[in-house]
Structure 1
Amino acid sequence: MQEKERNSIVKTTVITAGGLLMIFAIAGTQILSIFGITLSSFMIAGGILLFVVSIELLTHGGWRFGGTISDESGVVPLAFPLLAGPGAITTVILSFQTSGLMVTLLSIAIVIGITCVIFFLTGSIYRILGRRGSLIITRILAVLVAAIAVQYVVDGLKTM
């Protein structure tokens, strides 16, 4: 990917993930209750979606679904469910309930800021790892993401 296209996707990803997390921090409980969704059901659904993403990364080394719009990959799967997935959304809802709005929003801003810096360093990281190293890392992390996805489903089922 060219640097300009990569930067565009990074911006889309960071803004989307940050926005989603802030919305769910403020109104997550209300949003879920409007639709009659429990936190457990949300975790199960998010876990299944995350598992699909991990299978895609494992088998193809990237995301194949969607159209030809390059910014789409900044939304799915990067912003949601990888960055602002069921675990992160559940965490910000619980953080808001226990620590208040300011602490939760500050935490989101710090994590999104660090994520943005890491994303902008991907060119350097790729030069160090190379194509083969990147594919190996992608597949290893895909297995970890699959395990996290299964854990979300298990945790969701336990709390139902």
Structure 2
Amino acid sequence: MELNFKEIATATMVLFAVIDIIGSIPIIISLREKSGHISSGRASVIAAIVMIVFLFIGASILKLIGINVNEFAVAGAFILFFIAIEMILGVTLFKEKKGLKKTATVFPIAFPMIAGPGSLTTLLSLKAEYSTANIIVAIVVNVLIVFIVLKTSSRLQRFLGANGIAIIEKVFGVILLAIAVKLFTSNIQELFI
């Protein structure tokens, strides 16, 4: 099990961009107002467990239904592409179901906001290129960031302001778009070999 700082840094940035916890601050604040309380620690731990379990058994599930990791990575690249377009252009392509009461800590915060389809797809896409140990470190780093953001969401919103959050979202959208293109080009070649 050899840790590679470059892989950890890249995987951390990719997951950070996909999870987009900074861009979710307004949603988190709204959920806090509606549900009264969100357990930052519980949401972070549940999201980490879901992501790590999926990292290990996701490929087996895919194999069971006859899909290889490269095919899933190409599909994941498309999802990342559309998430990036949403972030850059400020449009909504994916619709989220509403209807939450006291379960906001688990749903929709832990799943699907943090450990959602985008981050789970990203994990398997990253696994096609990086070591599992490095991806786990990236998950832990992101969960710590998520925990800090959930704990300090009100203060962060006041500090960054609406414009600051919008700028961060656009910057990470462009990074995510470049990553989607890289994932697509590196995995599409494997399908035709």
Q: Percent identity?
A: 20
Q: Which runs of 5+ in 1 are unaligned?
A: none
Structure 1 partner of 2:174: 143
Aligned positions of 1:44-59 closer than 5 A: 44-59=74-89
Equivalent position of 1:27 in the other structure: 57
Shift of 1:14: 3.3
Shift of 1:62: 6.8
Look up the SS of the partner of 1:136 in the other structure: helix
Distance in 2, Cα, partners of 1:150 & 1:72 = 28
- Give, as a single letter, the amino acid of the residue that structure 2 aligns with 1:68: K
**C-alpha RMSD of the superposition:** 3.5
Partner of 1:123: 154
Could you tell me the TM-score, scaled by structure 2's length? Answer: 0.60
TM-score normalized by the length of structure 1: 0.70
- How has the CA–CA distance of structure 1 residues 48 and 64 changed in structure 2, closer, same or farther, with 3 Å as cutoff? closer
Map 1:68-147; keep pairs closer than 5 Å: 68-69=98-99, 71-72=107-108, 75-76=111-112, 78-86=114-122, 88-91=123-126, 95-96=131-132, 108-109=139-140, 111-147=142-178
* 1:82-103 C-alpha deviation (Å, 9 max, x unpaired): 54442x334468645xx6xxx9
Matched, 1:41 2:71: yes
Equivalences, count:
154
Instruction: Please identify, of 49-58 and 68-77, the stretch whose mean Cα deviation from structure 2 is larger.
Output: 68-77
- Listed as ranges, the gaps of 5+ residues in structure 2 are 1-28, 101-106
Higher helix share: 1
